[in-house]
Structures are given as structure tokens and as C-alpha cells.
Amino acid sequence: MKNFEVFTPVQLRWEACFYCGGHLPALKKEHIFNSSWTGKHKTGALICDECNAAFSFSVDTAFKSYTKYHMNVWSLKGERQKSVPTIETEGEIIIKSGAQPEEKPSSFFSYEEGNLFYTAKAPNKPALRQYLNEQLSKDLGRDLKEDEIKDIKNMVRNASSEIKPLNSVQLYDSIDPFLEIRSTVHTILKCMALFDSDFTKHVSHKVLDFSRHGVGNWQEFAFLGNSSLDVASTYFKHHPDYNAVEVYYLPSTKQILAKHIILGRIIRWVVLSNIYEGPHKILFVGEPSLGGILKKFLLIFSETFPPSAQIERGMKEVDFIEDLMTLAQITLGPDAQLARLFRGMEGIFNDFDVLTQEHIDEYKDTLLLFLNNMFRITSLIIQCPIPYSEEDMLCGLMDNGLTELEAYVGQINIAEGIIDTMSRPIQYVFSQVVQLGEEAKLKEKNK
């Protein structure tokens, strides 16, 4: 017998809501993976309208404190969201889509001899004008007169601008492990209900009640876990953003353990049963960001080759906090640089017909800036400087394709060898980043 077999499970349609037995099909379709994490696939054949509505305000927003970082940096927005999430900070800075920091508009005013004096600042002139109009009208408690609007226009025209470097920002957030774990259990139960008609035999009322009504403690379900396979990240190798569920049916320990992954970044493990009897199997359900179609398969294992998944220990509140801190640091740090690099490359090479020296210079500057920032950020994160020589990096880039690329100036974008030559400097950059990561690890260890 083979070690395991792969099946494509059939999607089920329930006759009645699996939580309460209520009427189906529901009028309002339910997202399998929450739309605020870029889930798109919907069904009306699992849970009734009443149960669906009960989740929508609190449970469905439980992971916002985490997902907003990833979505901001990569400029992603959910189906129901009007815009990419912004990130507020403790200071004057607000982080806009694409990890772009911007100073919040602010103003000071004083009265002297019946005259109102104003100083104000904003990220750009149109924003300054809009802010002054709104703020002044608010402060005066009335609509502005025409000459006042004109004055503001003049003031803004003559305003001076400055560029300030930004080093670090203080972030604040709130998290709720109880709602997070409910949201995780709810998502996993929906995936199980979609493809496993027997799931309520193994999953007790306690689990259903916790998910649907919030009865019980999250500590009974959440744990830090690991598994011998890493199904989702193997399957979604080429998608940085995906939502997925892996359900491990483990007769040897009678457990059903499940792993929930949000945006390829946030991982929660929960235990759903201690009375499971049946074959060793893994149910996988996933959806790439805004994909709309669920990817699913069922792996059934032979007795002699069971998969393994273990509980390391129960989750504590501090684990959630650490998770959020790491996520914020990685997304706003290295991820944001990578996103910026990709945007920069797109800007340079999108629709280029003929290669010019300007293209090459811009390419060089973009790559150098990226490397420079990556070294700086990594040093900050590990709190230990990593030496960086811009000169060495420039030499490396020149030796790895940039010099050769100059021979293609004036040639069209499909000229033989041009794409290969163009991709070499970026390969060099990524090899430097890998080295940097290893160096950082070493320094952390020796600290």
C-alpha cells in the first residue's frame, strides 16, 4: 500500500444550519475565509442568517490588529473594505497604504489683539488647505467666509516644505485572544462542514457553543503546535498571501488538531476533539488572496505512515502579544522594503520599449537603497550593527549584470539576453539579503 492517497473532497450542501438547525439556504452568503483577510469564496449552504449575523461585528474583526500590517504594506484590501488599512501611531505619524509614513495634519492658533494667528502643518499642500478649511471652521463654530477661504489659499501657496528623516514609530494596538480563537474555531468548523459530513460526530457541543455563543475559555482550545508536514506553505509556495486551514485527524491520540493560517503570516492552532476514531487524515482548505475559489484536498494515510501534529504547550496571552510585535516589525521593516522594491522596479521597467542609461541608473539606485535599508533595519531589529559598505555593494551589482546591461542601451525589451542580464543584479541583491539574514542570526546567537 502507498503511504498516503490524495482525494478531492466533494463540497457539501447542508439542509439545515450546522450550529442551530436553522433555515438554509441563507439569504446572506457566508465567507469561508473572512473578507477582511481578503477571503472571497462564499456559500449560503452552511449556516443560517441569524448565526452569520451573530459573528459579523466582533468575531469577524478579531484579527484586524494583525492583518492591517500585512495588508497595508502590500496595499491589499478586502472585498468589503473601501480602502487599504492605514496604521495609526502614538506620535504624529500615520502610515498610509504601501507603508508610506505621513505626518498627521496639526495646528496651533492664538488670538492677539483680536487677530487670529495660525501655524499648521500637513503632508502636502492640498492636504494642508483641506485641513485648514475644516479645522478653522470647526474652531470658529461656523462656515468660513469667502475672504477667509481666499486667505487660506494664499497662506498655503506660500507655505514652506521640509523633508524629515523618519527613524522609528511607537505603535499601539489592542488584541482579544478570546475573539481570535473563536474566529479561528469558526473558520475551521466551516471548512470541516464543507467537506466532512461526519464532523459533528467528533466535534463536541462544547466546541460548537464556544464558537457560536462564546461559552467557555479560549485556553481550552488554543495551543502552540507543530506538525511533520507543512501543507499550506508547500501548496501556496508561489502565493505570498493566502488563508488556509489544515485539519489533522489523529486516531493514535484520538485528537483532531487544526492549524489556521491568515494571509500566510498569522498562525493559530486549536484542539477540536479528543474522541476521534477513524483513519489518519489531513483535510486542507485554502484560498489565495481574493482568489474566489477554494483549493481543497484530503490526504488519507496508511497505518504505517501516519502524519504527526503535536501540542507543544497551551497558548498564553503573552504569546499573542509577541506574535503581534514580531508581525508588525517584520511587515513594516523588511516586508515594506521588499514591497517598495517591487513597486520601484515596476515603475522603472513597466512598458519600457527601449533600454536607456536612465533606466539602468534608476535600477541601480533602487537596488542600492533597498540594500542600504535592509542592513539598517536588520541592525535595528537585532539591536546590533551589521557593517555595510555601499561601495562593495555597488561593485557587486556592477559585476553581477549592471555593467553588462549597459551594452544593451538603445535595444528593445525583447532583445536576446536582455531579460537574463536584467535579472542578475536583483538575484545578487537577494543573495546579499540571505547572507544578511544569516549574519543577523549569528550575531543574535552570540549576543
CB of 213 to Zn ion, least distance (A): 11
Q: Which is nearer to Zn ion, 53 or 407 (CB)?
A: 53
The least CB distance from residue 256 to Zn ion, in Å, is: 22
**Choice between 26 and 355, CB closer to Zn ion:** 26
Q: Whose Cβ is closer to Zn ion: residue 19's or residue 428's?
A: 19
Cα–Cα dist 438/440, whole Å: 5
**Which one, 214 or 314, has the nearer CB to Zn ion?**
214
x/- mask, Zn ion, residues 10-29, rule CB under 5 A, reads -------x-xx-x-------
Q: Taking CB under 5 A as the criterion, which residues in 33-72 touch Zn ion?
A: 48, 51
Which lies closer to Zn ion via its Cβ, residue 54 or residue 418?
54
Q: What residues are paired with 268 via a beta bridge?
A: 260
Q: How far is the CB of 33 from Zn ion (least distance, A)?
A: 19
Residues 275-334 within binding reach of Zn ion (CB under 5 A): none
From residue 293, how far is each of 33, 237, 264, 426 by CA, in Å? 11, 17, 17, 33
Closest CB to Zn ion among residues 57, 108: 57
d(CA 213, CA 133): 47
Range 364-372, long-range pairs (CB < 8 A, 24+ positions): 364/394, 364/397, 364/402, 364/425, 366/341, 367/341, 367/397, 367/425, 367/426, 367/429, 368/393, 368/394, 368/397, 370/337, 370/338, 370/340, 370/341, 370/344, 370/429, 371/429, 371/432, 371/433
Question: How many residues form the binding site for Zn ion (CB under 5 A)?
Answer: 6
**In a 3-state reduction of DSSP, which class is residue 93?**
strand
Q: Which residues have a Cβ under 8 Å from the Cβ of 9 and sit 6 or more positions away?
A: 195, 196, 283, 296, 297, 298
Residues ≥6 apart with Cβ < 8 Å to 227: 246, 248, 259, 307, 308, 309, 310
* Least distance (Å) between residue 128 CB and Zn ion: 51
User: Residue 276 CB, nearest distance to Zn ion (Å)?
Assistant: 25
Nearer to Zn ion among residue 212 and residue 280 (C-beta): 212
Strand (E) or helix (H) holding 295: strand 295-301
Q: What minimum distance in Å lies between the beta carbon of 47 and Zn ion?
A: 5
Q: Give least dist CB 50 to Zn ion, A.
A: 5
CB of 98 to Zn ion, least distance (A): 40
Which residue, 73 or 208, has its beta carbon nearer to Zn ion?
208
What is the distance between the alpha carbons of residues 3 and 438, in angstroms, rounded to a whole number?
36
Residue with cell 493514535: 252
Q: Which residues bind Zn ion (CB under 5 A)?
A: 17, 19-20, 22, 48, 51
